[in-house]
Chain A
Amino acid sequence: MRRRTALAALTATAALWRDLARAEGSSPRKLGLLMGGRGEADPEGQARLEAVRTALAERGWVEGSNLRIDLRWAAGDAGRLQASAAEIVALAPDVILANSTPAIGALVRLTKTIPIVFAQIVDPVGLGYVKSLAKPGGNLTGFTFVDLELIRKWPEILREIAPGVTRAALLFNPATTPFYAEFVRTLALSAEPGATRFVPAPVPQLDDLEGVIADLGRTSGTGLIIPPNPLIGANRRRVAELAMQHRLPSIAVYREFVTEGGLMSYGPNSIDIFRRSTGYVDRILRGADPGDLPVQAPTSYELLVNARTARALGLTIPQSILARADEVIE
């Protein structure tokens, strides 16, 4: 009896020692980080990466010590997205943190075993990546960006500052976000009389961007809507410049669109989403099952207005926007 107890104690000690060894051991855990929507040279990308690193360090995961981060930048390019996803899966990391809906789509097709935490995805249930928000069930979970419903809200806000907008052009790259075409068609069909009319503005290649925006600028009453979309997001500065050039009022989901010359933005704080996603990375690294972790929606939506751009476009910022805006950039 006593011998058996001693044996059990010994075994337990050995197991404990093994655990400790693994926790502090020589081989660090591996995190595959796929920055789908930003390039390496993008300050916003660097800010997001910094947020991830800092938040992980706060939770005890220090890169180079007990964590190895295999980082890939895709800058919203469909080809790079696919390639990066394959590279990261091939490295067989302990967990993958990925940004942008197409990146997630690529990863989901590549692995059903490596846990994936997504930061900023659009409609994961609708795209069939998770069973439900409360219980994802598979090998991935994470944080949604915005619901597609929000597309109807952007023109409303844009019209408050630019009441002349009657036509909302949805700027997107069909290679990475093909679902917008269908969504816009559905919206157009159910549009109520008097409401803003939606038109799709697909940008098949980056080179087409200027032509598309120039084309839109030719029709008066057109407003530019920039939904979650990696290629456009990665080239937001150029979109802002072209919008200004063609005098198109614009609203984006990206906060940084406004700080870089865009007129307005309404959406969740990306940096915050990235920061929160490390919480799930941490839990998965400590043994949690991604299928058990609920998909979280953003809690707050921020409204930013660039007063300089408004003035340049000859627009006046009304009281209702000022009351609602979280930030007004002068």
Chain B
Amino acid sequence: MTAGAIASPVLAVTDRNPRAPSRARRRMPLALKLGIALVGLVTLVLLVNGAVNLWLNYEEAKRAAVSVQQEKAQAAAERVDGFLSDVENQIGWTTRAEWRRVPLEQQRYDFIRLLRQAPAVTEVSYIDAAGKEQLKVSRLEPDMVGSGKDFSAEPRFKQAVAEKVWFGPVYFRRGSEPYITVAVAHAGRNPGVTAAEVNLKLVWDVITAIKVGEKGFAFVVTSAGRLIAHPDLSLVLRDTDLSRVPQVATALAPPGGRLSAGAAPVATSSASEIANDLAGNPVLTAHAPIGRVGWLVFVQSPVSEALAPVYRSLIQTAALLGLGLFLATVAGTFLSRRMVVPIRRLQEGAERLGSGDLSQRIAIRTGDEIETLADRFNLMAGRIQESYETLEGKVEERTRELSETLQQQTATADVLKVISRSAFDLHTVLDTLIESAVRLGGANRGGIHFVDGSVLRLQSHFGFSPEHVERLREKPAAISMDTVTGRPALLRRAVHVADVLADPDFRNSEMMKVGDFRAFLGVPLMREDTVFGVLGMDRPEPGEFTPRQIELVQTFADQAVIAIENARLFEQVQARTAELQQSLDDLRKAQDRLVQSEKLASLGQLTAGIAHEIKNPLNFVNNFSSLSADLIDELREVLEPAGLDDKTRDEVDDLTGMLKGNLEKVVQHGKRADSIVKNMLLHSREGSGDHRPVDVNALVEESMNLAYHGARAEKPGFNVTLVRELDPAAGEVDLYPQEITRVLLNLFSNGFYAATQRKAAMDGAFEPTMTAATRNLGDTVEIRIRDNGTGIPDDVKAKMFNPFFTTKPPGEGTGLGLSLSHDIIVKQHCGSIEVATEPGAFTEFTIVLPRGGVSQATKKSGS
């Protein structure tokens, strides 16, 4: 492990934390910030300046435009007024005081000239002082002379006379063309009037001649808002009412109320505003009144045109703003780069420093605070470098110690592992111990010696030469100060000799020749204050063992003590276990012997009883029946000579023949019964005998009968109903017939006993029943023996298969019956026997026999 390798993770730790957030925070670099600040400031100033400029310009230009528009409106009004004045002047020709006295032909000629001079006038008429029309000249209608129409009450006469000049209201011919009547009173006293119908369509010439900018125009409305002049003549002819157009409505509704022709001049002189024209486009509009007819002349031009200077100023300002922005961006970029380059260099230096390159120095010569900062960085880097160097030394030393400790601990752990894994192999444990102790204790070789009287015998070693081992075997180290090995045992503590040659007590120079060692370390192995061995180690060079090494060897010695003690205890336990096993085997053998004898005893008892009871009556039967057969023959011989009729003889012959036959049958079956008894006796004598396939149903049947007869033999009044539910498919099972018979007999006799007990208890009102059933279960056969006797209480049921346990009165049972049965079924035939019972109701034993159970059992016992 190098210093660098240690340093890097340390650095990584101090390094990672500050870097991560700095990266996250550096989404907006300083250059950008500075740039934004600068550009933003400049933009703000420019914007404010621009906005103020714009506002002032806009207001001024608008004011100018509005006043221009107003002037135009005024001028337009004057021109339209001029049109009227022109008509008035033309009419003025005929209003001289003496005109009424000129001849009619001259008057007509004047009127024709008037029509020629004033194209707008379509009709002109002369009304005399009495209000009678004297002459009318028209462009379209035939002229009238002296029609005498009375106009004296009409305004064109009255008003004209009163006011000199009268402008009538605008009217429309055929609902389309606007006309006005202009009446001018003649001069002098008692004047007549010249009235002219003026086609206002001709104001169009005046209106179109008025230029309001490029797209602007003028139009004229009456005091009622009816359009009478417009560049688009069709609008006029179409009967366009503008009184609802906002700017017209505003102009038409002065505080003084509605205007009427000839009334006082319009109160609102002239105003202008921005409004929408008929098509909805914004226009700058202004109007001026024509006082004597109550008309209003509007001039309007598109806002875009009227306010063009304002827009120009806006564009100018925007251009200035853009230029300012561009310059600010350039300047900002330049300045921020100037600022940021050294800062970035500083950052790179700091990063290098952070990544562990402490020899780097940051070179910045800007002569400002950044340079000072860089110098401080360099100074800091120097300091850090120094402290790293000291730190590295310390780390190295500490690492060495740690790795040593780790090594020792690993070795100790290994030793412990060996001890625990091979706890009962003391030799291996000791070998491992001494090897580890020598290696970690700083020695070359070493050994473990056990105390044997006054000497120490080598038990285990590491690194000893064969000669050395031989030498130690021949002449073990004595427990004395003469040998270094003996000293720990003698002193009962660790002994440490730096150089044996320098030790005054050491005299075993002979040993030196073989061992060739100088420094020695020995530790006594002690158990409960008794030294039973020594762990010693040495090395050829003289020198002190470190306290750590001594402590370590001491630890190993302690481990050795524990291991040795474990091994000793283990051996003891093993010996004791073997003893116990032996005595258990002996006990089993004794028990088996006892069981066997009991079996024999019980069967012997039974067969002996049966044999005794049956043998003698059977002898009588046999003997007398054969004798009787002989007597039949004799009887026949006696009757031979007797004079018997044929019929009688035939009958006698028949009877004697039948008698003899019967007797022969008795003899035959008696002999058979005899053989059965003999067989029984044979059973008792032969024990288990041979196993062979046996028909289960026959076996059960036979056993049941046997038991029944046994019971009846024992107790003459005994009676029980026997029920057989034998499965015809039960088939054969390989078994020891005698043994199974014994089991069944035992179970039946138990059942009979229980039934008898219950019958006695219930005083005759009970019919004892014994059921035997078989069932084929494939590989096994089930046998069930059921009685309806007293049943078995729970406490008895728990112990009933125990040997020597019995509920019968002393002398009646051996207590081995069920135990034996169990043995036979389970052990001999690998079957099972179970009991189900209810006290006072029934008891049922169920035996399950595997079909090849015997061979299994044989194999088991054989292996």
**Does A293 belong to the interface (CB within 8 Å)?**
yes
CA A153 – CA B115 in complex, angstroms?
15
Contact of A295 among B140, B176, B239 (CB under 8 A): B176
Could you tell me if A153 and B140 are in contact, using CB atoms closer than 8 angstroms? yes
**Does B175 belong to the interface (CB within 8 Å)?**
yes
CA A324 – CA B139 in complex, angstroms?
10
Number of B residues with CB within 8 Å of any CB on chain A: 26
Given known A-B contacts A299-B201, A323-B109, A150 and B238 have beta carbons under 8 A apart: no
Interface residue ranges of B238-265 to A (CB < 8 Å): 238-239
Interface residue ranges of A240-294 to B (CB < 8 Å): 280, 283, 292-294
Contact of B175 among A133, A280, A296, A324 (CB under 8 A): A133
Q: Which residues of B have CB within 8 Å of A280?
A: 234
Q: Which residues of A have CB within 8 Å of B139?
A: 301
Could you tell me if A156 and B116 are in contact, using CB atoms closer than 8 angstroms? no
Nearest CB of A to B174, in Å: 5
Could you tell me if A301 and B175 are in contact, using CB atoms closer than 8 angstroms? no
Residue of chain A at shortest CB distance from B173: A297
Nearest CB of B to A138, in Å: 15
Number of A-B pairs, beta carbon distance below 8 Å? 64
Residue of chain B at shortest CB distance from A154: B142
Could you tell me if B176 and A134 are in contact, using CB atoms closer than 8 angstroms? yes
Q: Mark A128-166, 1 if CB is under 8 A from B, else 0.
A: 000011110000000000010110110010000000000
Given known A-B contacts A133-B237, A134-B238, A300-B119, A319 and B141 have beta carbons under 8 A apart: no
CA A75 – CA B239 in complex, angstroms?
36
**Does A320 belong to the interface (CB within 8 Å)?**
yes
CA A220 – CA B755 in complex, angstroms?
181
Nearest CB of A to B261, in Å: 22
Nearest CB of B to A145, in Å: 13
Q: Mark B216-238, 1 if CB is under 8 A from A, else 0.
A: 00000000000000000110011
Could you tell me if B175 and A134 are in contact, using CB atoms closer than 8 angstroms? yes
Q: Which residues of B have CB within 8 Å of A153?
A: 138, 140-142
Nearest CB of B to A200, in Å: 19
**Does B790 belong to the interface (CB within 8 Å)?**
no
Contact of A323 among B113, B174, B199, B201 (CB under 8 A): B113
Q: Which residues of A have CB within 8 Å of B109?
A: 319-320, 323
Could you tell me if A294 and B237 are in contact, using CB atoms closer than 8 angstroms? yes
Could you tell me if B176 and A294 are in contact, using CB atoms closer than 8 angstroms? yes
**Does B339 belong to the interface (CB within 8 Å)?**
no
CA A280 – CA B233 in complex, angstroms?
11
CA A153 – CA B122 in complex, angstroms?
13
Interface residue ranges of B157-175 to A (CB < 8 Å): 174-175
CA A294 – CA B237 in complex, angstroms?
6
CA A319 – CA B119 in complex, angstroms?
19
Could you tell me if A297 and B142 are in contact, using CB atoms closer than 8 angstroms? no
Contact of A320 among B112, B176, B201 (CB under 8 A): B112
Residue of chain A at shortest CB distance from B115: A324
Q: Which residues of A have CB within 8 Å of B116?
A: 323-324
CA A301 – CA B234 in complex, angstroms?
20
Could you tell me if B108 and A132 are in contact, using CB atoms closer than 8 angstroms? no
**Does B177 belong to the interface (CB within 8 Å)?**
yes
CA A299 – CA B174 in complex, angstroms?
14
Interface residue ranges of A75-128 to B (CB < 8 Å): 125
Q: Which residues of B have CB within 8 Å of A295?
A: 176, 237
Contact of B112 among A147, A283, A323 (CB under 8 A): A323
Q: Which residues of A have CB within 8 Å of B143?
A: 156
Given known A-B contacts A152-B141, A323-B116, A324-B116, A297 and B177 have beta carbons under 8 A apart: yes
**Does B202 belong to the interface (CB within 8 Å)?**
yes
Q: Mark B90-133, 1 if CB is under 8 A from A, else 0.
A: 00000000000000010011001101100100000000000000
A–B Cβ pairs within 8 angstroms, 24 of them: A125-B174, A132-B175, A134-B175, A134-B238, A134-B239, A135-B238, A149-B140, A152-B141, A153-B138, A153-B142, A156-B143, A293-B238, A294-B176, A295-B237, A297-B174, A299-B201, A299-B202, A301-B140, A319-B109, A320-B108, A320-B109, A320-B112, A323-B113, A324-B116
- Please provide the 9 A-B residue pairs with the shortest distance between their CB atoms, ordered closest to farther: A294-B237, A133-B176, A134-B176, A294-B238, A134-B239, A156-B142, A324-B112, A152-B142, A134-B175
